[in-house]
Chain A
Amino acid sequence: MKKLFRIEFSKTINFGPVKILIPLHILFFFLGFFAIPRIKIDFPFLSVLPLYQFPHVWNFITWIGGIYNLTLVLLIIMLTCMEFSNKTYKHQAIFGLSRKELFIQKVMLAASFSFYVVILTFITVMISGLIYSYKITPTIIFDRSWILLASFLQNFIWLMLGVLFALIFKNVILAVLSFGFYRVMFEPIIRSLVEKENSWYFPTKFVSKLTPEPDILNIVKDKLQEADQVSPAELESIGETLFPDIPIIQNITLSLIFLSLILIFTYYIFQKRRLN
Chain B
Amino acid sequence: MNNNVVFQTKNLSKSYGSTIAINDVSLKVETGEIFGILGPNGSGKTTTLSIATGIVDADSGEFNWFNSYPDHNSRKKIGSLIEVPHFYPYLSLVQNLKIISQIKELEYNDIDRVLKLVKLYDRRHSKFRTLSLGMKQRLGISAAMLGDPEVMVLDEPTNGLDPEGIVEVRDLIISQARRGKTILMASHILSEVEKVCSHVAILKEGKLLEQGSVGSIIKGKSTLEVASEDLNVLHEALKSCKFIANLKQEPDSFILELNDDSSATELNAYLFDKSIILSKIIHHKKSLESQFLKLVKES
Contacts and interface: CB of A to CB of B under 8 A. Distances in A.
A binds B: yes
Interface of A: 3, 6-7, 10-11, 14-16, 86-88, 90-98, 101, 274-276
A88 B103 CA distance: 13
- Chain A interface helix/strand/loop/mixed: helix
B73 interface: yes
Contact of A10 (B73, B76, B98): B98
A10 B99 contact: yes
Given A88-B86, A94-B53, 14 more contacts: A3-B103, A7-B102, A10-B99, A16-B90, A91-B86, A92-B99, A93-B75, A94-B75, A95-B76, A95-B103, A95-B104, A96-B72, A274-B56, A275-B55
B222 interface: no
A259 B56 CA distance: 30
A6 B99 CA distance: 8
8 contacts: A87-B86, A88-B87, A94-B55, A95-B80, A96-B72, A98-B72, A101-B72, A276-B55
B88 A90 contact: no
Contact of B102 (A6, A91, A93): A6
Interface in B7-46: none
Given A87-B86, A90-B55, A90-B86, A97 B91 contact: no
Contacts of B80: 94-95
By Cβ-Cβ distance, the 6 closest A-B pairs, closest first, are A96-B76, A87-B86, A98-B72, A96-B75, A91-B86, A95-B103
Q: Which of B72, B80, B89 has the most CB of A within 10 A?
A: B72
- Chain B interface helix/strand/loop/mixed: loop
Contacts of B75: 93-96
Contacts of A276: 50, 55-56
Given A6-B102, A15-B90, A86-B86, A93 B71 contact: no
A272 B72 CA distance: 16
Interface in B81-125: 82, 85-91, 95, 98-100, 102-105
Contacts of A101: 72
A92 B103 contact: yes
A21 B87 CA distance: 23
A97 B80 CA distance: 13
B180 interface: no
Contacts of B82: 90, 94
